[in-house]
Chain A
Amino acid sequence: MDSYQEILFKLKKYWSDRGSIIQEPHDVEVGAGTMAPETFLRVLGPKPYRVAYVQPSRRPADGRYGENPNRLYKHTQLQVILKPSPDDIIDQYLNSLEAIGIDLGKHDIKFEEDNWESPTLGAWGIGWQVMLDGLEITQFTYFQQCGGIDLDLVPAEITYGLERLTAFLQGKESVYEIEWAPGVSYGDVRLADEQQFSVYNFEMASVDSLWKLFEIHEQEAQRLVDLYRALKDMAAKQRFPVLPAYDQVLKCSHLFNLLDSRGAISVTERVGVIARVRKLAVAVAHAWNDQQTPGEGEVAA
């Protein structure tokens, strides 16, 4: 029986053998692997790209103080982006499951419709949730649009839920019982993380401070986006810090999630705040797309 980290190594190796570069997680908080620039920005533009990376994904509202065996504030995704998608992508994906020891001859795999959409990112795609013996283990998406831009090459995005997959392979009822490394459980490594962040996210985070931080990052992102738009000179555009602007947007998104879990955003406000973040994400996506295709001029937002 493979440990959690062994499964990770195998999956990375599997995709590395098929031409993916292996990236490290993005070091700004994200809600999903899709939001990391390796996906959100790299899927734009005409250049083929293949990448796989582990991305710890923070969803403050999903925290359960470490008491629920299946729900986590921070779970781990393995994100694979194949741009453009190879014709045999589903076979490659199924073989990756075999590579981590799932004998598909003895299990039941189903592809159930599940289209993905992120209003915050102006992004959507078509795809499935992959069910293994009734357990959702993967989200599979053909991206169609990102940052409001129709994509030139259609990437396949494969997102493995690593905790679930490992619990399945190890036959564990609780993620905290997963063997992370020989003799070390997932709970040993992560329980305190879940407990303390749940307390902070639900009870102690200062709503005032979070709003202030949100506004600071929003202003900084907006300032950069405005500066980029004013540029005419090609060389100045090429060296412009679009990536740092995107990090500011990610900060906003995470702060929004924190405010949400703190119960500080009413349903009415929600839509408005999401629209503010989306506006910035879309502007950054257009700027990046513009940098990837110099000379074609910025696509109208």
Chain B
Amino acid sequence: MRGGLTFLLEIGVEEIPDWMIEPALENLASSFRALLEQNRLAAEQIATDATPRRLVLRAASVTPRQNDSEELVTGPPKSAGQGAAAGFARKLGVTPDQLTSVETPKGEYLACRRAVAGRETSAILAAALPEIILGIPWPKTMYWTHRAGPRFIRPIRWLVALLGDGVIAFEIAGVKAGSATRGHRRLGEAGPLPVRYDDYEAVLEKNFVLVSAKSRREKILREAAAVLPAGLRMKDDAALLDSLVYITEFPTPIRGSFDESYLQLPAEVLITVMRHHQKYFSVEHADGTLAPHFIAVMNTSADPDGLVRQGNERVLRARFNDARFFWDVDQHKKLDARLDDLAHVTFQAQLGSYLEKAERMAKLVQEFGGGEPAVRAALLSKCDLTCEMVKEFTDLQGVVGGLYARAQGESERVALAIYDHYSPLSMEDSIPRTLDGRLVALADKVDTLRGCFRIGMIPSGSRDPFALRRAAQGVVKILVEGGIALGLAQLSAGDARLEEFLLDRVKYYFREIRGFAYDEVNAALAAGSDDLADAEARLSALKAVRPTENFEPLAASFKRIRNILKQAQFEGGVALSRTLLEAGPETALHEAFQSVTARVEPMRSRREYQPALEAIASLRPAVDLFFDKVLVNAPDAAIRRNRLSLLHGILTGFSSIADFSEIVSSHESSQNS
């Protein structure tokens, strides 16, 4: 609607943790849209933005006032008589002759139409905004006025709420909404700054606040490139960039440097120190090797005297010195000499020490067919937990073990397997680079899963303190992407709940991560889940064949066959008799079955699943004709059994790539939804 009002809402808060801001904005926008809809109000250009100290929602062309409307109030049944009618009219403030009646399933009822005056949008917002603001869900909230006071992520210190030029009157925790914002803590003008919708961003920018996250991101990237000498670049780190965008109101990157001698420390250690502890970007040469520089992002406009750079360099130097000290101290005792120490590090109270875990892992790796290097890597994989470096930089567990193994003369295979064995840490993370590493990683995760399930520490709902879902997801990813043919039953060692849990993660992986349809996943897994890489190949073939014209109708027929067999309680075991086959569609189906089988078998053994499925789909006309012309439930028992046997043969013979009866046709699913 043209000519509506502008709306500006700014919630001024003490510094909000960076990672919580975007989800909060999404919630704020969706609550605001819902409010408009409930109140039949329109708005355009609804947009959110934020810095650590403010959540902002803006909209244009907001309806200034609800349209008047009419509502129908239903009263007592008409049969209730004059008295009831008079009472109803009195309650509504009308005379009885103004009442009408409505027909309902329960009979005729008295009713009254009355006009409802539209409310002013400012009144609607004033009433609803406190609830919308305090309704933003945060991972952890606090109270700050008193125990029974409102809860929010951090104290709310000011509120700007303007509809057009008018302040929307509401209050939260003693803070009244107004028309004044605040600038940057140190660079902005002291005190409140009056703003309007039109000059909001400009006023803030003048006071060293870039409201737009996009502008802050661009400023960081642009200026970081500018402070680097030619030939060097900032190492990409999207997560760190996101974090810095929401830790700053006016980000300015500066370049710092460190002594080249620190480059003797492994890049992994240097990067971890810079990234996790100092939130610095690493700087690299064109070939990806580290350069002795870093990019720090300040929340201020400049570093005229170089004080900020010097301060950051000094902090980093101390951190690097610590790391160098840890590296040197740790070399005094080799990894394999630390096995005894592992006996004193508890893995879990009921599951014993890390030494016991490492020994179990080594056994598992053997069981999984791992060679000598993989077994040794498994045994040494946890030794770095006793090293100073890992105690200080816990994120580097595994990585440090791998680096130490290499430095201490273990073979490269052993070193790589230890280095990678915590991977994948997430669905985006890659799996270990080598087969040795994959087997050690599997053994680690499987041991944790088996142990925790055995002692009843099974994830439920959001409670998953040992991150077992992540472990199981890692197992699945390694099996599929690493092409390791280990069955879920073997991995679960007879624990049905664990097998179920793993199967759940397999389905999740194929559906949510790989984007296969749920029924395709069910169909492929029903045909076997002992080799997940093979299941993936069958799944891909299934997905490719599915849109072809014969496939879904054939799948529907397979489902029909399954139901017929189930109703007849027929479980096979009856040899097919050619002589009992009726000439025509039944014989034709049998011949088609045999010829397709002859084509499919070699393809299946060569794992050429797509042509195999296409061949199976070619059965469709024969199957359709059979069901069209032949009565399965023949009066003669022997003929009936023979027909069931033919159908049973087709169903089982062609279900080893995918169980087609699991496929839900597009027709069915649209009916169900």
C-beta contact mask, B121-159 vs A, less than 8 Å → 1, else 0? Answer: 000000000000000000010111111000000110100
Q: Which residue of B279, B299, B307 is within 8 Å of A106 (Cβ)?
A: B307
Complex CA gap A67/B155 in Å reads: 42
B118 CB–A CB distance under 8 Å? no
Residues of A within 8 A of B300 (CB): 107-109
A70 CB–B CB distance under 8 Å? yes
Among A91, A134, A150, the most chain B Cβ lie within 10 Å of the Cβ of: A134
Nearest B-chain residue to A150, judged by Cβ: B147
Nearest B-chain residue to A151, judged by Cβ: B147
B293: min CB distance to chain A, Å: 14
Residues of A within 8 A of B310 (CB): 133
Q: Which residue of A104, A134, A142 is within 8 Å of B144 (Cβ)?
A: A142
Assess the A107–B146 pair: CB atoms within 8 A.
no
Assess the A115–B307 pair: CB atoms within 8 A.
no
Among A132, A154, A268, the most chain B Cβ lie within 10 Å of the Cβ of: A154
Residues of B within 8 A of A110 (CB): 247-248, 299
Contact A134:B296 (CB < 8 A) given known A152-B147, A153-B146: yes
Q: Which residue of A108, A126, A144 is within 8 Å of B154 (Cβ)?
A: A126
In the complex, identify which listed stretch (B314-322, B410-418, B447-455, B598-606) lies at the interface while the others stay far away: B314-322
Assess the A267–B345 pair: CB atoms within 8 A.
yes
Residues of B within 8 A of A126 (CB): 140, 142, 154
Assess the A113–B321 pair: CB atoms within 8 A.
no
B186 CB–A CB distance under 8 Å? yes
Residues of B within 8 A of A70 (CB): 318, 322
B291 CB–A CB distance under 8 Å? no
B652 CB–A CB distance under 8 Å? no
- 20 A-B residue pairings within 8 Å (CB atoms): A69-B321, A70-B322, A87-B157, A91-B185, A105-B186, A107-B307, A107-B311, A108-B299, A108-B303, A109-B186, A110-B299, A112-B247, A112-B279, A126-B142, A126-B154, A133-B310, A133-B312, A142-B155, A152-B146, A168-B311
Nearest A-chain residue to B278, judged by Cβ: A134
B663: min CB distance to chain A, Å: 48
Complex CA gap A40/B98 in Å reads: 70
A68 CB–B CB distance under 8 Å? yes
Complex CA gap A128/B18 in Å reads: 12
A111 CB–B CB distance under 8 Å? yes
Residues of A within 8 A of B346 (CB): 266-268
Nearest A-chain residue to B312, judged by Cβ: A134
B285 CB–A CB distance under 8 Å? no
9 smallest A-B Cβ distances: which pairs? A133-B311, A113-B17, A111-B15, A267-B346, A134-B312, A108-B298, A126-B142, A134-B315, A108-B308
Q: Which residue of B15, B143, B279, B314 is within 8 Å of A173 (Cβ)?
A: B314
Q: Which residue of B140, B299, B315, B349 is within 8 Å of A268 (Cβ)?
A: B349
Nearest B-chain residue to A108, judged by Cβ: B298
Q: Which residue of A87, A105, A115, A168 is within 8 Å of B140 (Cβ)?
A: A115
C-beta contact mask, A69-111 vs B, less than 8 Å → 1, else 0? Answer: 1100000000000001101001100100000000011111111
Assess the B318–A132 pair: CB atoms within 8 A.
no
Assess the A266–B344 pair: CB atoms within 8 A.
yes
Assess the B14–A90 pair: CB atoms within 8 A.
yes
A128: min CB distance to chain B, Å: 6
Assess the B325–A109 pair: CB atoms within 8 A.
no
Among B144, B157, B298, B321, the most chain A Cβ lie within 10 Å of the Cβ of: B144
A213 CB–B CB distance under 8 Å? no
Residues of B within 8 A of A154 (CB): 142-146
Task: Specify the main secondary structure of chain B where it touches its partner.
Answer: loop
Residues of B within 8 A of A111 (CB): 14-15, 52
Assess the B308–A133 pair: CB atoms within 8 A.
yes
Complex CA gap A109/B301 in Å reads: 12
B635 CB–A CB distance under 8 Å? no
Assess the A109–B299 pair: CB atoms within 8 A.
yes
Among B143, B186, B344, the most chain A Cβ lie within 10 Å of the Cβ of: B186
B304 CB–A CB distance under 8 Å? yes
Assess the A134–B316 pair: CB atoms within 8 A.
yes
Complex CA gap A267/B348 in Å reads: 9
C-beta contact mask, A117-157 vs B, less than 8 Å → 1, else 0? Answer: 00000000110100011110000001010000011111000
B428 CB–A CB distance under 8 Å? no
Task: Specify the main secondary structure of chain A where it touches its partner.
Answer: mixed
Q: A68-B322, A154-B146 are in contact. List 18 more A-B contacts (CB 8 A).
A: A69-B321, A70-B318, A84-B146, A85-B144, A108-B296, A108-B299, A109-B186, A111-B15, A113-B15, A126-B142, A128-B15, A132-B311, A133-B312, A152-B147, A168-B311, A173-B317, A266-B344, A267-B345
Complex CA gap A84/B173 in Å reads: 14
Residues of A within 8 A of B315 (CB): 133-135
Complex CA gap A135/B248 in Å reads: 16
Complex CA gap A133/B280 in Å reads: 12
B305 CB–A CB distance under 8 Å? yes
Residues of A within 8 A of B185 (CB): 90-91, 94, 109
Which B259-311 residues have C-beta < 8 A from chain A? 278-280, 296, 298-300, 303-305, 307-308, 310-311
Complex CA gap A53/B52 in Å reads: 31
Residues of B within 8 A of A266 (CB): 344, 346
Residues of A within 8 A of B142 (CB): 125-126, 142, 144, 154
Complex CA gap A82/B655 in Å reads: 72
Complex CA gap A151/B75 in Å reads: 51
Residues of B within 8 A of A267 (CB): 345-346
B346: min CB distance to chain A, Å: 4
Residues of B within 8 A of A107 (CB): 300, 307-308, 311
Nearest B-chain residue to A135, judged by Cβ: B315
Among A105, A133, A142, A144, the most chain B Cβ lie within 10 Å of the Cβ of: A133
Complex CA gap A150/B148 in Å reads: 10
Complex CA gap A105/B303 in Å reads: 9
Among B248, B298, B345, the most chain A Cβ lie within 10 Å of the Cβ of: B298
Nearest B-chain residue to A112, judged by Cβ: B247
Residues of A within 8 A of B52 (CB): 111
Among A70, A152, A171, A267, the most chain B Cβ lie within 10 Å of the Cβ of: A267
Nearest A-chain residue to B347, judged by Cβ: A267
Complex CA gap A183/B87 in Å reads: 95
C-beta contact mask, A10-21 vs B, less than 8 Å → 1, else 0? Answer: 000000000000
Which A238-296 residues have C-beta < 8 A from chain B? 266-268
Complex CA gap A268/B187 in Å reads: 51
B171: min CB distance to chain A, Å: 14
Complex CA gap A21/B32 in Å reads: 47
Residues of B within 8 A of A151 (CB): 147
Complex CA gap A144/B186 in Å reads: 28
Complex CA gap A108/B155 in Å reads: 23
Complex CA gap A125/B155 in Å reads: 13
Complex CA gap A173/B140 in Å reads: 37
Complex CA gap A56/B527 in Å reads: 68
B432: min CB distance to chain A, Å: 27
B45: min CB distance to chain A, Å: 32
Contact A106:B154 (CB < 8 A) given known A113-B18, A144-B143, A152-B146: no
Complex CA gap A113/B153 in Å reads: 11
A11: min CB distance to chain B, Å: 19
